[in-house]
Structure 1
Amino acid sequence: MEDNMDGAVPSAAEDWERAKLLFDARDYIGAARILGGLVERHPEQNGPRLLLARAYYHSAALRRAESELRVLLERDAGDAYAHLLLGRTLERLGRKGEAAPYLKVAKILGA
């Protein structure tokens, strides 16, 4: 957790907004730093975890992306986007055979 300029610790909402801004600016590593702390503090929330997985994917931290996506799919097996991103992650890791079922489910679910 980084302090604000006034020395206060940012709220979860402030961290979320900052992380989204960094992600949108394609600073995926910066976004992942903030999102990692946010996920640690609020592990039950799926939104920050999904954005963290996306930041990991785009920064080529593929094993970390895989780990976060598996958590999301354990919680919600019907998350089409998580299936798609896990399939793409596994493809990038050279595990095409493992990727195929996730990509198939993503397609069926409309991703």
Structure 2
Amino acid sequence: MRTEGTVEAFRRAEKLVAQRRPLEALRTLGPVLDEAPDKPSVQLLAGRAYLFSAQFQRAELAFLRVIELDPSDHYARLVLGRTLQRQGRLDEAHTQVRLAATMYPDPAYQEVLGEIRAHIARLNDSG
């Protein structure tokens, strides 16, 4: 991010996402996305805002872009998995969250993985 105004806009957008005001965050983040579309932190923040505003396809694309730019980003894989889960794409979600949990063995990641596995098991039992 090149200008002070861009950094300031990014920080404002971060605060808005933290406050669960994703649409305002996306409006604030627009110029930042225009200026730094290949910056993983910008795509990750946009993806989170899209996810929180139920724009799942846009969130998916943003998280995939982060992973393309930085394949080792475990958090991007986790939230991509959550995004896929919200779309009912459980097998794909499981794959991404399993990778994230392998890369970063955090109990919270394991909890998400268990949740997805339980959901898949319920569907298999009822089907």
TM-score range, shorter chain: 0.7 to 0.9
Structure number with greater Rg is: 2
- Does 2:63 correspond to 1:58? no
Which of 16, 35, 46 pairs up with 2:10?
A: 16
Distance of 1:44 and 1:97 partners within structure 2: 28
> Which residue in 2 is equivalent to 1:100?
94
- Runs (5+) with no aligned partner, structure 2: 110-127
2:9·2:32 contact (CA, 8 Å) conserved in 1?
Answer: yes
The runs of at least 4 aligned residues of structure 1 exceeding 4 Å deviation read none
The amino acid across from 2:54 in the alignment is A
Q: Give 3-state SS (helix, strand or coil) of 1:11's partner.
A: helix
Indicate the structure with greater helix content: 2
Question: Matches of 1:82 and 1:56 in 2, distance apart?
Answer: 13
Contact 2:38 2:69 in 1 (8 A): no
DSSP-derived class of the 2:38 partner: coil
How far apart are the structure 1 equivalents of 2:91 and 2:30? 29
The residue correspondences of 1:62-81 to structure 2 (distance < 5 A) are: 62-81=56-75
Among 17, 31, 46, the alignment partner of 1:37 is 31
Please give the secondary structure, in 1, of the residue aligned with 2:97: helix
- Alignment correspondent of 1:84: 78
**In structure 1, the residue corresponding to 2:96 is in which secondary structure?**
helix
Alpha-carbon deviation of 1:44?
Answer: 2.4
Unmatched runs of 5 consecutive residues or more in structure 1: 1-9
Deviations 1:54-92 (A, max 9, x none): 111111111100000111111111110001000110010
